[in-house]
Amino acid sequence: MEKQQISWSRLTKHARECVLEDRQELKRYQSEEGNVVLFFNCVHNLIGAAFPHEYIACQRFDTAQKVHALFVIHQCHYGDNVQQWLELLIIIDAVF
């Protein structure tokens, strides 16, 4: 188990430190409601979002936009899983 953890640590360290200057493509995910589009880089870090009237870089999200983005990301990964939604609400409550 420890060997797997070391490999995972090395992999995630590389992903965080990797130079992405040559990899400018973005991936997009549109919310089920269609009112928000999230943009991710090639290692799936959130870069920004297009809310109904404008694009905003994730560093400039206000609290409501952060929560909305978290819900859309969660929707993308877990769909309608109620238990996962409840866990996300607990995390949001702890963060904000």
Pairing verdict, β 27-30 and 37-40: antiparallel
Average pLDDT score over the chain: 75
Residue 10 is assigned to a structural domain of this protein? no
- The string of pLDDT tens digits covering residues 22-31 is 666 788 888 8
Residue 3 is assigned to a structural domain of this protein? no
Instruction: State whether residue 56 is helix, strand or coil.
Output: strand
DSSP H or E segment with residue 61: none
Please tell me the total count of domains within the chain: 1
Residue 9 is assigned to a structural domain of this protein? no
DSSP symbols for 28-58:
EEE-TTSS-EEEE-TT--EEEEEETTEEEEG
Which pLDDT band holds residue 84 (cuts at 50, 70, 90)? low
Domain that holds residue 26: 22-95
Residue 88 is assigned to a structural domain of this protein? yes
Residue 37 is assigned to a structural domain of this protein? yes
Percentage of residues of the chain with pLDDT beyond 90: 12
Give the integer Cα–Cα distance in Å for 56 and 65.
9
Residue 5 is assigned to a structural domain of this protein? no
Which has more pLDDT, 37 or 14?
A: 37
Listed in sequence order, the DSSP H helices in the chain are: 2-17, 63-78, 82-95
Which has more pLDDT, 74 or 78?
A: 74
Residue 51 is assigned to a structural domain of this protein? yes
pLDDT attached to residue 46: 86
pLDDT attached to residue 59: 92
Residue 4 is assigned to a structural domain of this protein? no
- The string of pLDDT tens digits covering residues 45-70 is 888 999 988 999 999 999 889 888 88
